[in-house]
Amino acid sequence: MPASAVGSARGIDVSHWKGRIDWPRVALAGYGFAFAEATNGFTVDWTYARNRAGAKRNRLLFGAFHFARPGGSTREGVLADAVAEAAFFLSVARPQTGELAPVLDLERTGGLAPPALRAWTAAWLDEVERRLGVRPTIYSSPAFWRRSMRDSSVFAVAGSQLWVAHWHVRAPRVPASNWSATGWTFWQWTNCSFVLGIRGCVDGDRFRGSSLEEAALAPPPATVTPPLVLGVPQSGETLSASAGTWQADPAPTLEYRWERCDGAVCSAIPGAVTSAYTVTPADAGEALRVVVTATSRRRSASVASSPVVVNA
């Protein structure tokens, strides 16, 4: 066992290639968490539901991953493919509070050059975060990240944690400037660990943290009362937003986004991201609303105010 791995929680990651797993024996062997493949591109891993139930029944902290199959020949096609794969993954995996954050497993480029692959990755992550309220983890090897993502740190800065795959070394090499100085969260340190209850060998993982509980998805902040738009809705006047009230522990951080609405379609107003907004002549006759996003323990929820119509 690598010296640098001692003291961190042990885990495994599995897919249908491991066949039927004896989860009680895995738990008795001292493993505390498990990731399982839920989807591969647009294919369901047929062992996912069984692995999820078995791991959770035996009190292993559980998480789902999506093996990415990027595609698309135009920018629009690349983004549409990513959003579709993200939606398919969520329909199968159905991540829950108390589980590990979902994972995007990046090992294939689908023929995409680094800029297009970064766009695909961002769209997949954004879609999952929009629907689930948590930023997904990224799985990758240092070599793949350097070659295929040009060692980009943008995803670390945006809040994705790293599950790094670097086998049989004393300490993993962490891409993107040590993942923008935050380091790895999970480390797949071997592709061949022998574990009771599993035929052959299996991927072995480590969690870097004082307690596995800190890795579990917290409940999203709950709205008690919605936000309100206050002030006179006419050109030149400054509107203010009440944040509403939220139930979360610890108290959530808040972000604001003002939107202009045309019927049922609302679009963000560029740069309008504080609790105050000065009405412009372009808003005359339009409806305005504010969207408040509350975040606590890496879990987010968003609520919009009722729209107010600007006097013409």
Tens of pLDDT along 118-175? Answer: 999 999 999 999 999 999 999 999 999 999 999 999 999 999 999 999 999 999 999 9
Helix (H) / strand (E) element for 225: namely strand 222-225
Determine the Cα angle at 42 with ends 187 and 205, to 5°. Answer: 10
Q: Where are the domains of the chain?
A: 3-215, 222-309
* pLDDT at 1 > cutoff 50: no
- 286 labelled catalytic: no
Q: Are 197 and 24 in contact (CB under 8 A)?
A: yes
Which of the following is catalytic: 13, 37, 45, 205?
A: 13
Chain segment 252-305, per-residue pLDDT in tens: 999 999 999 988 899 999 999 999 999 999 999 999 999 999 999 999 999 999
Task: Give CA–CA dist 72/78, Å, rounded.
Answer: 4
Q: Which amino acid is at 29?
A: A
- Any idea which fold 222-309 has? Immunoglobulin-like (2.60.40)
Q: Are 212 and 206 in contact (CB under 8 A)?
A: no
Which of the following is catalytic: 107, 151, 214, 249?
A: 107
> Can you give the pLDDT at residue 25?
98
The CATH code of the domain at 3-215 is 3.20.20.80
Separate counts of helices (H) and strands (E) for the chain: 7, 19
- 151 labelled catalytic: no
pTM: 0.92
